[in-house]
Amino acid sequence: MAQLNSPLTLGELKLKNRVVMAPLTRSRATAERVPTVMMAEYYAQRASAGLIISEATVISEEANGYLNTPGLFTDAQVEGWKLVTNAVHDKEGLIVAQLWHVGRVSHPDLLNGETPVSASTVQQAGYVSLLRPKREYVVPRPLEISEIQAIVEQYKQSAIKAKQAGFDGVELHAANGYLIDQFLQSSTNQRTDLYGGSVENRARFLLEVVDALIEVWGAGRVGVHLAPRGDEHDMGDENPRETFGYALEELGKRKIAFFFTREHLDEGSISGYLKQRSNGVPYIANMKLSREDAIDLLASGKAEAVSFGKDYISNPDLYERLVGDAPLNELIFDNMIGTDVAEGYVDYPTLAELEALEPNA
């Protein structure tokens, strides 16, 4: 019976335990999207996790939708990420790079005046995250087929740079309403060409990118991040079981290392169904999991690993706290995203540090 501290093999990745640090956008890179020394400290503090999935990392400047998120498309970014991967490996941790293109979840003000791209001309409701003054999302421009192929190549080149930077693998960000998801889900894909209409066509972009990543890394070091509930960035699909079930069936044929779903547990969850369709691809569960949820998912075999996001922001030693059923630090939202200060980033204490501060400790 698997437990939090049970070792796990995900493809070619050998995890020392089954607690995974979820990708967490913190916007702490430089304006040129280069990781910093403080980012290296942040990840190293959390290296007791069985696996760290890096914050979402853009594959080109045109792929971005947020200021100061890191990239993997320049030599300087590679050197910055080396600080991070070396720091994690020095603590005997594993880290994979999450590769990202936001698609329509951007704005011309973030793209040197260019229109964001997507599968189709379907405008996202709401306002662009973190831009002030507030401004609405714009109608995106649909990608030409030649442009789609160029972006597949950008993913491949970014995967090559991830290898140069010392990562242990890559995860494709195909979730949360970003570009891959915009092609996959029916509400945002109204195309009538090879990339639209049937579920096979809508999943084509996803699978082409995965195949490109496998060319670089091998299937055993490639994961895929999905969000079947479609509850981020104004998404939705007519038949999520069919759409995501087909995607998992095809990913299973490729024998990727893992799939990760952002989907809270309730009667509407389909991640268990996706696991059945995946032909044995290991499943990492995520979203609002309690310690008890995590223990049950592992013990029952419903998931091979469990992932935590916000709890890892405020608890660098979250793995140890979960195993020992210790209390967690409270999350402080000040400075959580988009500053260059240590407060709220690398200053959360571990249990050992708290105990050292106690009188007569």
Q: Which residues are designated catalytic? A: 178
Tell me 220's DSSP state: G
Residues of 275-290 as b/e, b for ≥16 C-beta within 10 angstroms?
bebbeebbbbbbbebe
User: How wide is the angle at C-alpha 342 spanned by C-alphas 341 and 344, nearest 5°?
Assistant: 100
Write a three-state SS string for 8-66.
EEECCEEECCCEEECCCCCCCCCCCCCCCHHHHHHHHHCCCCCEEEEEEEECCHHHCCC
Cα dist. 312→19, 37, 207 in Å?
10, 19, 30
Residue 116 and residue 93 in contact, taking contact as beta carbons nearer than 8 Å: no
Burial class (CB in 10 A: 0-12, 13-18, 19+), 131: middle
Residue 223 is inside which H or E element, if any? strand 222-226
Give yes or no for a cis peptide into 133 (omega within 30° of 0). yes
| Three-class secondary structure of residue 171 per DSSP | strand
Tell me 90's DSSP state: H
CA 192 centroid distance within chain = 29
